[in-house]
Amino acid sequence: MAQGRVFKYGDNVDTDVIIPARYLNAPSPEDLAKHCMEDIDIDFVKNVQAGDIMVGGANFGCGSSREHAPIAIRASGISCVIAASFARIFYRNAINIGFPILECPEAAEKINAGDKVSVDFSTGVITDETTGETFRAAAFPAFINGIIDAGGLLPYIKAKQEANK
Amino acid sequence: MGMTMTQKILAAHAGLPSVKAGDLIEARLDLVLGNDVTTPVAVKVFDDAGFTKVFDKDRIAIVLDHYTPCKDIKSAQLCATARDFAKRFDITHLYDVGCVGIEHALLPEKGLVGPGDCIIGADSHTCTYGALGAFSTGVGSTDMAAGMAAGENWFKVPSAIKVNLVGKLQKYVSGKDVILHLIGLIGVDGALYKSIEFAGEGVAELSMDDRFTIANMAIEAGGKNGIFPVDEKTMEYVKDRFQRPVVVYEADEDAEYEQEVTIDLSELKPTVSLPHLPSNTKTIDEVKGMHIDQCVIGSCTNGRISDLRAAAAIFKGRTVAAGVRCIVIPATQDVYLQAMKEGLLETFITAGCAVSTPTCGPCLGGHMGVMSEGERAVATTNRNFVGRMGHTKSEVILASPAIAAASAVKGCMASPEDLEG
């Protein structure tokens, strides 16, 4: 379950603006988070609070494969990202590190910046508490839920290797 | 129902008789790649998860190319982390300053990737090796760590877009123009989650360097991979390089494609992408005269020997316009050496270009050509996002080496024909 205020962005939010390359040599997630989104929203870092939710349009997270992008978003306090669609590497990266993302074009269109939104991860139901509207995100396939339930890709592989011993 | 080329490679590496679009599979990997930006993150998750060995020390490539030679202390720390990991596991293919090249030009050149392979790399432009008839895709650092630990990873089998190439490229039109045109046609998410499969008699007209450039930018259309059929040119390229047996996969005749696009190469004009998306394409005729402050010729997209030859042919007997800075970066040491032997470096330096050791540097606004507020570059690189090459109010126009060089000479966006006569 997540609940927070919404920071909303448009289509094709690329990983270069999520975390610019000039900060990719930062040593920790917290250091990356200090610069999250600054090239398109200089006030994001100042205003974001733990639990807040990011909403994007189509092709969210396109461009560079840098895993620093979902790491920076998570470290900034954002609890999950809802988008109309995700670029595939960002999608993999989020699942692999166990960071919740939800694909829901309707929610991405109708939720407004600043709305208070809650998300039930077990059902995929997204509730815009400001407008009263509810949406349902596409469920993950069982295989991907297996990775998420294991705590991410590495614990999943570790468990698999142990089982095969 | 038949399979696409990509689906056949994935099925073979998953040990399955067949796969279809949407299937989630676990496939064996022939090579796992990382660079100085992504490897340190992979090392941390690898260690945190408690892994103590890698699946195969000969099947991992660590290429320190992004911020090298190290631009600052933080970058030096990243390289040290990657170097230590390579030493700890006796990784065969560590490429460091002095032998390093830009990863996606280097790996094919060194014969570490070849036809029929299944490859992941923690760099989005890993899709480049599709030019050789491999399935090759960019992933993140956790995927890289998983690949290094297990020698396999999970994939969602992609559906495909078929791009039929017909005709022959005209003078001053190159692979870069083909891929920019295609991205303009289908958009930056036109191939999202899909493979882009190139086919048709036009493929034979494209050099390997053109194919590398085209496959390299499949990701800029959102593609999972871009892939070319294997032909005589491919076999000639891998002949004295690729160490493992070549496995040639062909798409079935009844393979299913979600979309088919035909591009007549003979009709293409030099094409550029204006800020701030690769899909924002125009022909050179539509943008002539736009002011530029900088020109960058290089990158994993266009830093190969034929790219440098195309640029040098323009610079021969000419000079970079006053007020323009032109930076030329050979993609690998072999390319650098070959350019020296052919006299291309002399041409560049005489024309007033800065020539550098191989590095990704300016492409990602890392170093070696970062721009200030209000500046604009024409670059043979692959991305023109906000702030990509420096200040958030700087701009990048993507173009081929011939267009970039002609623009550097003219001092504004121009075609080679504008310099003739």
| Distance between B226 CA and the closest CA of chain A, angstroms | 14
From chain B, the residues in CB contact with A88 under 8 A are 192-193, 222, 224
Which of A66, A89, A92 comes nearest B37 by C-beta? A66
Q: How many domains does chain B have?
A: 2
In DSSP notation, B299-360 reads HHHH-SHHHHHHHHHHHTT--PPTT-EEEE--SSHHHHHHHHHTTHHHHHHHHT-EE--S--
* pLDDT at residue A69, as a whole number: 97
What is the C-alpha separation between B193 and B199, in angstroms, rounded? 19
Inspect the interface and report whether the beta carbons of A88 and B37 lie closer than 8 Å. no
Q: How many CA atoms lie within 13 A of B309 on its CB side?
A: 11
Cβ B107 vs Cβ B113: under 8 Å? yes
Q: Would you say residue B162 lies in a domain?
A: yes
Q: Would you say residue B420 lies in a domain?
A: no
Residues B97 and B129 in one domain: yes
Which of A14, A22, A157 comes nearest B385 by C-beta? A14
Closest Cα in chain A to B74: A25
From chain A, the residues in CB contact with B45 under 8 A are 97, 154
Residues B251 and B278 in one domain: no
Higher pLDDT, B33 or A151: B33
Where residue B306 sits, what CATH number does that domain have? 3.30.499.10
Q: Does B155 touch chain A (CB under 8 A)?
A: no
Distances in whole angstroms, Cα of residue B293 to Cα of each of B41, B145, B321, B355, B377? 35, 40, 10, 17, 6
Cβ B379 vs Cβ B398: under 8 Å? yes
Residues B288 and B249 in one domain: no
Q: Would you say residue B322 lies in a domain?
A: yes
Tokens of B187: 């958009």
Mutate to test the interface with B, among A19, A28, A74, A88 (most CBs of B within 10 A): A88
pLDDT level of residue A27 (50, 70, 90 thresholds): confident
pLDDT level of residue A26 (50, 70, 90 thresholds): confident
Is residue A81 pLDDT above 90, yes or no?
yes
Name the pairing type of β-strands B24-28 and B31-35. Answer: unpaired
What is the C-alpha separation between B359 and B356, in angstroms, rounded? 8
What is the C-alpha separation between B407 and B223, in angstroms, rounded? 30
Which of A26, A65, A143 comes nearest B139 by C-beta? A65
Which of A65, A153, A161 comes nearest B124 by C-beta? A65
Cβ B108 vs Cβ B121: under 8 Å? no
Question: Which of these, B34, B42, B39, B49, lies nearest to B78 by C-alpha position?
Answer: B39
Residues B164 and B194 in one domain: yes
Inspect the interface and report whether the beta carbons of A161 and B48 lie closer than 8 Å. no
SS3 B121: strand
Tokens of B372: 């200030």
Domain closes at, from B204, B235, B264: B264
Question: What percent of chain A is predicted at pLDDT more than 90?
Answer: 84
Inspect the interface and report whether the beta carbons of B142 and A93 lie closer than 8 Å. yes
SS3 B186: helix
* pLDDT at residue A164, as a whole number: 86
H or E segment at B177? helix B175-186
H or E segment at A106? helix A105-110
In DSSP terms, which residues pair with B72 in a beta bridge?
none
What is the C-alpha separation between B285 and B271, in angstroms, rounded? 9
What is the C-alpha separation between B19 and B10, in angstroms, rounded? 8
Name the pairing type of β-strands B160-166 and B195-199. Answer: parallel
Q: Would you say residue B9 lies in a domain?
A: yes
B202-215 pLDDT per residue, tens: 999 999 999 999 99
State residue A102 phi and psi, 5-degree precision: -130, 130
| Distance between A53 CA and the closest CA of chain B, angstroms | 23
**What domains sit in chain A, N to C, each tagged with a CATH number?**
2-139 (3.20.19.10)
Residues B334 and B185 in one domain: no
Q: Would you say residue B41 lies in a domain?
A: yes
Residues B101 and B47 in one domain: yes
In DSSP terms, which residues pair with B396 in a beta bridge?
B377
Residues B334 and B371 in one domain: yes
Q: Would you say residue B365 lies in a domain?
A: yes
Residues B157 and B297 in one domain: no
Domain closes at, from B264, B298, B319: B264
What is the C-alpha separation between A97 and A112, in angstroms, rounded? 27
Average model confidence (pLDDT) across chain B = 97
Closest Cα in chain A to B277: A12
In terms of C-beta distances under 8 Å and separation of at least 24 residues, what long-range contacts does B88-93 make, across chains too?
B89/B53, B89/B54, B89/B57, B89/B60, B90/B57, B91/B54, B91/B57, B91/B60, B91/B62, B92/B57, B92/B58, B92/B60, B93/B58, B93/B60, B93/B61, B93/B62
Inspect the interface and report whether the beta carbons of A64 and B150 lie closer than 8 Å. no
In DSSP terms, which residues pair with A135 in a beta bridge?
A126
Cβ B112 vs Cβ B121: under 8 Å? no
Residues B326 and B361 in one domain: yes
Sequence-separated (6 or more) residues with CB below 8 Å from residue B68: B36, B75, B79, B96, B97, B100, B359
What is the C-alpha separation between B242 and B234, in angstroms, rounded? 11
Residues B290 and B161 in one domain: no
pLDDT tens track, chain B, 421 positions? 899 999 999 999 999 999 999 999 999 999 999 999 999 999 999 999 999 999 999 999 999 999 999 999 999 999 999 999 999 999 999 999 999 999 999 999 999 999 999 999 999 999 999 999 999 999 999 999 999 999 999 999 999 999 999 999 999 999 999 999 999 999 999 999 999 999 999 999 999 999 999 999 999 999 999 999 999 999 999 999 999 999 999 999 999 999 999 999 999 999 999 999 999 999 999 999 999 999 999 999 999 999 999 999 999 999 999 999 999 999 999 999 999 999 999 999 999 999 999 999 999 999 999 999 999 999 999 999 999 999 999 999 999 999 999 999 999 999 999 998 6
**Which positions 206-235 of B are in contact with A (Cβ < 8 Å)?**
219, 222, 224
Q: Would you say residue B354 lies in a domain?
A: yes
pLDDT level of residue A151 (50, 70, 90 thresholds): confident
Mutate to test the interface with A, among B32, B103, B124 (most CBs of A within 10 A): B124
| Distance between A29 CA and the closest CA of chain B, angstroms | 10
H or E segment at B202? none
Task: Look at the alpha carbons of B402, B405, B411, B413 in this order and tell me if their dihedral is positive or negative.
Answer: positive
Q: B251 burial class (0-12, 13-18, 19+ CB within 10 angstroms)?
A: buried
What is the C-alpha separation between B356 and B368, in angstroms, rounded? 8
Q: Does B8 touch chain A (CB under 8 A)?
A: no
Phi-psi region of B162 (alpha: psi -120 to 50; beta: other; left: phi over 0): beta
What is the C-alpha separation between A78 and A117, in angstroms, rounded? 12
* pLDDT at residue B377, as a whole number: 98
B110-157 pLDDT per residue, tens: 999 999 999 999 999 999 999 999 999 999 999 999 999 999 999 999
A130-142 pLDDT per residue, tens: 999 999 998 888 8
Residues B255 and B332 in one domain: no
Name the pairing type of β-strands B24-28 and B152-156. Answer: antiparallel
Q: Would you say residue B393 lies in a domain?
A: yes
Q: What is the ipTM of this complex?
A: 0.93
Sequence-separated (6 or more) residues with CB below 8 Å from residue B44: none
Where do the DSSP E strands lie in chain A? 2-8, 53-56, 80-83, 101-103, 116-120, 125-128, 134-136
Domain closes at, from B264, B284, B311: B264
Residues B233 and B377 in one domain: no
Question: What percent of chain A is predicted at pLDDT more than 70?
Answer: 100
DSSP secondary structure code for residue A80 in this structure: E
Cβ B176 vs Cβ B402: under 8 Å? no
Domain range for residue B372? 271-414
State residue B45 phi and psi, 5-degree precision: -70, -35
Average pLDDT, integer, range A38-46 = 96
Residue B69, preceding bond cis, omega within 30 degrees? yes
From chain A, the residues in CB contact with B50 under 8 A are 158
Is residue A149 pLDDT above 90, yes or no?
no
B339-391 pLDDT per residue, tens: 999 999 999 999 999 999 999 999 999 999 999 999 999 999 999 999 999 99
